[in-house]
Structure 1
Amino acid sequence: MIQGINENIPYRGVEFHIQTEDKGMERGLIVSTLFHSGMIILEKRVSYKDLPPERQTEDGLSLLLKETHEGMRRELLSGELDERIRLFIPIEKAEKGEAALSDAEEEMIKKVREEVLPSIVRDLGVELTRDDLKGIRKAISVSSGLPPKDRYLSLYKEIFRLIQDRCDRDTYKGMVKVWTGLEKRKPEPRPVPPPRPTPSAVTHPSEPSSKELEITPEEMKQLVMRLTIPELTRVIGESLSEALYHKVFSEIHDSFYLKENAFILLADRILSSGIIRKRVSDEWRADVKTTWLKRYERVKGLKS
């Protein structure tokens, strides 16, 4: 496996990070990813097969990795990615003298960038293309000129038109309700505490217990990371793995960790995230889940 390249690049007052990795002979891919604060702005994949057979050597692949990295760097600094970047983060105007955005347009861009786009990827599992983002940006410009009550309705209709072949209509409608505030995400229900055991039901210390590990939320988080990190880093790297853990853990209440099957539920959340699903097969996810559960059972056995 060829050593990857990581580089921080300041551009238009914002710091970006480009990570270019070799995924190894098994996957046969060079992947270059543009990040800002752990968020993926753009990802490009180049197959080993793009090289003639005589160049599929360590030196040839090393050169391909460098060329792929430089290509991403060049696109960023040349301004080719400005339109895509503006949908995620505010940057300076690409052209001097460009007209200022209206308040309505600024507001819509902020909402789409911070809430709608991440939700499309995370909740709908849709990988947005450059054409999708251009279409969304155009729709924002058009919709921002409509009366307030019609702006977002028009925008969400246009977004669905762009991605309708990749997502379910009813699921999309449900997410629109979340985006418009008509429906709030339901928090994890607090578990009902079990009844206090009667004296006759108390387990003798020498008897085996069927309870799960007694563990604090923080200890469970550390355990999840320790047992799942090997596979995640091979697929998405260390920085994205950390971002994924943070996202999963921040979305649930501490009471969640008191559930008997907390580890299984956390494993499911990690493996069903958009960033994992778009990179690996269902078979891989099933195999990895089995591996994680075996590790967890071994830990429980050691603790019992």
Structure 2
Amino acid sequence: MVSIRQLKRGVQSPKMVFQHLNKLYFRNRYGKEFENGVNFMEEDWDNLLLLDACRYDIFESVNAVDGSLEKRTSRASSTVGFLKSNIHNKDLSDTVYVTANPQLVWKSEQFSPDFHKVVNVWEEDGWDDDLQTVLPETMVSYAKEAAEEYPDKRLLIHFIQPHCPFIGEFGREMVENSNIDFWPQLREGERDIPKDVLLKAYIENLEVVIPYVDELVQCLDGKSVVSSDHGQLIAERSFPIPFVEYGHPQDTYLPNLVEVPWLVCPFDERRTIERAKTDTEMQSGNVEERLKQLGYKV
């Protein structure tokens, strides 16, 4: 069913119509959950470090974290889809979710989250007002605290990079204001930034976060895996309507949107993991503002 809001946006933007039609194609073929994807929460790990919107091919080319790299297929092409298809109605009382992404709170009524604990790093204390994001060093600090406080729980650690805003020196200089409506503006032709510039800024954003991922892996006990919730399109043709697309539209199961890294890092001993129920507070007064600053339409 198409809403009035979607119809209005379609009149204003023909490419929104193309995007919606492509989504319908993939939904009709695969359903709202990509049937070829893996449920990451059912995989074998003690610590799962997610790099938001990280493509497998680019991670493979720049990664400096030690480990055995494989390619995995995500069940979704967006964070909302990833959370819905991996955590909905799951007993995750053995897992602490440390996240720089506000989507779990924003869409909590859709996910029925059952984590032991959720640490929303994007709240005031973890948010960088100048760059309008959560910095990777901040995530490392919060993740280390969670590891100390919950030694018998799995850790799901969700970095925001390489997702925009671009925080590297090149990205900040060459791609100004890479947050609010950034990818939609590019898709609609409201901004004109060459693909090579976008790609360089994206790669730099990944290179910025990798040393912090490596630092965290080195200090966490147990089996650590580095992966991503979904990939990214950067001025690439969508399908079946072949218009130039950007970002990571939901329910669009193209290879560069669902192929993600799965880096299994060396480890000595596993942690003993135990389940324990607790109440998880999901309310937040600034979630909508944070999502806008990270480039999401809300």
Q: Please classify the TM superposition score into its range, dividing by the shorter chain length.
A: under 0.3
TM-score, normalising length from structure 2? Answer: 0.24
- Which structure has the larger Rg over C-alpha atoms? 1
Instruction: Please report the TM-score for the alignment, with normalisation by the length of structure 1.
Output: 0.24
The structure with more helix, counted as a fraction of residues: 1
Give the number of the structure with larger relative contact order, counting CA–CA contacts within 8 Å between residues 6 or more apart. 2
Select the structure that is richer in strand.
Answer: 2
